[in-house]
Amino acid sequence: MIDQLLQELGGTAEPYLVGFGGMIGASLRHVVSTWVEREEFPLGTLTVNILGSFLLGLLTFAGVTDSTMLLFGVGLCGSFTTFSSFSVDTVQLWEAGDRFVATGYALGNFLGAVAAIGAAWLLVTGLGGML
């Protein structure tokens, strides 16, 4: 369906796909972050980064069309996840003297995102051929 729309518009819809996906992703990030955020720990950013990595992994390993990747991968996941907030949160925790928490948070974002992409890969490939 998305590919048909692109063909009818002569391919000029690509920026709009990214923009529309970005609008949805940014809105979802706000909702999820607000819902799970804790004052003492930036759980909202951690949550969206792991969920977004999982979704991007699903899209990547499922082999979706280019236009679907533009809408959901580049647009939605790109605006849903947030490297800049993660970086600021880590430095603020460090500056507040929570060095152990800052280190754990940084590792949690990295390892959580990689694990989420790995889980998506396993899901899409049928648990490594076991399904």
Q: Where are the alpha helices (DSSP H) in the chain?
A: 2-8, 14-36, 43-62, 66-68, 78-80, 83-95, 99-124, 126-129
Contact 86, 109 (CB under 8 A): yes
Q: Is 45 known to sit in a ligand binding site?
A: no
The identity of residue 4, as a single letter, is Q
Q: Is 81 known to sit in a ligand binding site?
A: yes
Binding-site residues for Na(+), in ranges, read: 78, 81
Binding-site residues, in ranges, read: 78, 81
